[in-house]
Structure 1
């Protein structure tokens, strides 16, 4: 899963060929949706999991080829919501390999690595 990584501190490079979205700490699906919609400037969004899946599979509205989505903290979300979200992250990474022109990198706080990896492993 090279599209998923963990860092203790996310530094915003000044590289103009990349798009950076810094997602603040969230503790609910609605909070996550608000942050993603705001930071990724979705052209449309139904504020549901299916809509997020569609957007994560096709970042056509972002001109930069490289997209970095840094999550400051997500493990305070209810377990089921976190599990669904991480499933979408993993599945969309696989889906984009088939046709996408974008290279999307999901970055999470290293303090949450063990928990997130356990959730992902349970989804597989």
Structure 2
């Protein structure tokens, strides 16, 4: 019998306690580099790793658009793994998490692709708190 699936919550994110054994070979799997502290670093990392088109503008709206269109990818499931949160200022981190949440929710089951975003369990409360305050703005 296999291990239980990692928990999902209202954000649509998955939270896991242990990142060992996460690579499965059937999906596009990317671990966000650790130590990212600026918006431009974050957007450049996404642009390189996910092969966003050359017209990518390195703005938050472009990140959302890219996460909602994987037409150039052959893998059905795209898994973005965060072993830690980026060290962005809270305002940028709120915006980033909101984009991820909205992009995860955007994909329907009958779509050709599926986006999964994974965070460590120990970041759950901070993420939920940041997303609650982003919904107030």
- For the superposition of Structure 1 and Structure 2, which TM-score range results when normalised by the shorter chain? 0.7 to 0.9
Query: 5 Å matches for 1:72-111?
Result: 72-97=83-108, 100-111=111-122
Query: Residue 19 of structure 1 is aligned with which of 20, 28, 39?
Result: 28
May I ask how many residue pairs the two structures share in their alignment? 123
CA-CA distance at 1:43 after TM superposition: 2.5
Question: What's 2:132 paired with?
Answer: 121
CA distance in 1, matches of 2:71, 2:37: 28
Structure 2 residue runs without a partner (length 5+): 1-9
CA distance in 2, matches of 1:100, 1:66: 10
CA-CA distance at 1:123 after TM superposition: 2.9
| Structure 1 residue ranges, 4+ long, deviating more than 3 angstroms after superposition | none
CA contact (8 A) 2:12 2:105 kept: no
Query: Residue 123 of structure 2 is aligned with which of 80, 94, 112?
Result: 112
CA distance in 2, matches of 1:92, 1:14: 22
SS of 2:72's equivalent in the other structure is: coil
Q: Please provide the CA RMSD for this pair.
A: 2.1
CA contact (8 A) 1:58 1:100 kept: no
Question: What's 2:18 paired with?
Answer: 9
CA-CA distance at 1:120 after TM superposition: 1.6
More helix as a share of residues: 1
SS of 1:32's equivalent in the other structure is: helix
> Deviation string for 1:39-81 (max 9, x for gaps)?
2222232111111111011111111101100012225210110
CA contact (8 A) 1:8 1:109 kept: yes
CA-CA distance at 1:88 after TM superposition: 0.8
Please tell me whether Structure 1 or Structure 2 has the larger radius of gyration of its CA atoms. 2
Asked if 1:69 corresponds to 2:80, the answer is: yes
